[in-house]
Amino acid sequence: MHLKPFALAFLAFVAGVSSKTTARSTCDPKARGAGLEAKQRSAIHDLAQIMFVQQDVRKAFNTYIPGEYINHNPSAISGREWSLEFLEQMYETPDISVSSLTALAGEGYGILHYRLMAPSAGIDWAIMDRLRFEGTCFVEHWDVVQTIFGNETNPVAFF
Ligand SMILES: *[C@@H]1O[C@H](CO)[C@@H](O)[C@H](O)[C@H]1NC(C)=O
């Protein structure tokens, strides 16, 4: 691909703009007030976009899980670094994908429900994550993971 100089300048401009956008859109643990629930709704949707569509785990954590992170998953330990490392490694699986996604927020919590597939790693899971907000940041996590076998008796199993 041959890029003309103006195209390169444009890409550099876009990269500069998007890094500024990222910095501005970092969550605010002190966010309060009447508009908070709407901000939390947009935070959970943006987290889902960064994590599951862009598959940029580090950006998702830097933007929405910048500090304290209490994790109740029985195989995990608390602290953002542990989860960041675990998820970054998992999302390096080449054929990993997310589908059937629902993201919502209310009463101080965000919910993500989705199918995570990575056939090469034997992963086919229906996952529900519950995340507690502090302002527009996430500070606590619970999850439930179901294995999808494909032979379920319920014709509307999982989704
Ligand atoms: C579906 O397959 C799994 C794995 O082979 C098996 O453990 C399970 O009992 C099966 N379920 C049904 C409903 O047949």
Look up residue 78 and give its two tokens.
């608390």
Ligand 1, atom 1, lies closest to the CA of 151
Q: To the nearest whole percent, how much of the chain has pLDDT over 70? A: 84
pTM of the model: 0.83
Spatial separation of the C-alpha atoms in residues 46 and 30, rounded to whole Å: 19
Atom of ligand 1 lying closest to residue 152 CA: 13
Distance from Cα 151 to the centre of ligand 1, integer Å: 6
Regions of the chain short of the pLDDT cut 70: 1-25
Residue closest to 158 by CA, chosen among 123, 95, 113, 121: 113
Look up residue 61 and give its two tokens.
């954590």
Atom of ligand 1 lying closest to residue 151 CA: 1
Distance from Cα 5 to the centre of ligand 1, integer Å: 59
What pLDDT score was predicted for residue 25? 65
Give the N- to C-terminal CA distance of the chain in Å, as an integer.
Answer: 42
What pLDDT score was predicted for residue 24? 47
